[in-house]
Structure 1
Amino acid sequence: MSQVMRLGHTRGGDKGSVAIEAAIVIPPLIMFVCLALAGGRLVTSGAKIDAAAEDAAREASIHRTAGSAQSAAQAAAAESLNDQGIVCASSRVTIDTSGLSVPVGQVGTVTVTVNCTVNLSDLLLPGVPGSKSLTSTATSVVDAFRSRTS
């Protein structure tokens, strides 16, 4: 009988073990969830910045002059980021409009690069940087047979 008692029951030896197990398991679990949130924010922000670069490149490619293409691309990128709810700590839009100056009948391209610094400090996760710089580049073809002005 004492043998069965010894194997099946302990006399008060497990009290508090759940609290200790929780103290060991919960902090890494919280860290994992926070890392997943940071990763998710970076992935979705990257996709939205890709879309902003594509919008800006398309907008620039339909303009006839480099000056109007640059201002239109800047506005399109800012509007796209704003519409998608991306708040950049700092952003930069670089536009290559050299494709607008190729002769009629030849294919030219406009390339736009959008750089956005995404804030991660609100996640309060130790070891994660306060921000991450994300960059996306998109190219759009200029219609080969439309008139152009310099």
Structure 2
Amino acid sequence: MKRRLRGDRGDATVEVAIGTSALIVLFGLAIVGMRVITAESAVDEAARSAARAASIARDGEAAASAAEARAHAVIAQQGLNCDSLAIVVDARDFAKPLGETGYVVATVRCEITFGDLMIPGARVAVSEFRSPIDRYGARR
């Protein structure tokens, strides 16, 4: 009987090793999840801000450059490192005559990798936002 009790002593060490490994994996997944949520939020804000900046411009060319500059500024302000960042601005509604409703659409696409966490793979965050152009504002 005593011999049988002594044989169970090593089980606690094995349980601690397995439990610790599982906690490390769960902690890593939580960090990845938080990074994805933060990145998606930053990309949403960049798209919103870019569309708003473009909608107050006077023409399509100025709108596109204002939107791109604003999106880059928001991404930098949020501290987001994108492996590839694409900003597309649809400002063709500036060609509409005064009195007609037009919109500027800004799309921001950012690829996030997890190499610094030693986790393979990447995630793409995409956001699109539409902002109205002033119907009676000055347009060129």
Q: TM-score, normalised by structure 2?
A: 0.92
Question: 1:83 corresponds to which residue?
Answer: 77
Q: Is residue 92 of structure 2 the alignment partner of residue 98 of structure 1?
A: yes
Aligned residues of 1:61 and 1:100 also touching (Cα < 8 A): no
- Which residue does 1:49 correspond to in 2? 43
Provide the rounded CA distance (Å) in 2 between the counterparts of 1:96 and 1:119. 28
TM-superposed CA distance for 1:64, in Å, is: 1.0
Report deviation, 1:119. Answer: 2.0
Q: 1:70, 1:145 → 2: CA distance?
A: 20
| C-alpha deviation, 1:17, in angstroms | 1.7
SS at match of 2:88: strand
Partner residue in 2 for 1:3: none
Of 12, 22, 39, 2:16 maps to: 22
Are residues 1:144 and 2:128 paired? no
Larger deviation, residues 33-42 vs 22-31: 22-31
Unaligned 5+ runs, structure 2: none
What RMSD over aligned residues (CA atoms) do the two structures have, in Å? 1.4
For this pair of structures, how many residues does the alignment match?
138
Q: Which 4+ residue blocks in structure 1 deviate beyond 6 angstroms?
A: none
Tell me the TM-score normalized by structure 1.
0.86
Q: Which moved more, 1:20-29 or 1:67-76?
A: 20-29
**Amino acid of the residue matched to residue 139 of structure 1?**
R
Q: Helix, strand or coil: the match of 1:88?
A: coil
**Paired residues of 1:56 and 1:72 also in contact (CA < 8 A):** yes
Shift of 1:12: 2.3
CA distance in 2, matches of 1:83, 1:34: 25
Structure 1 stretches of 5 or more lacking a match?
Answer: 1-5
Corresponding letter in the other structure for 1:84: Q
Deviations 1:63-91 (A, max 9, x none): 11111111111100000100111111110
How much does 1:146 deviate? 0.8
Give 3-state SS (helix, strand or coil) of 1:132's partner. strand
> Percent of counterpart pairs with the same letter?
34
- Give 2:106's aligned residue: 112
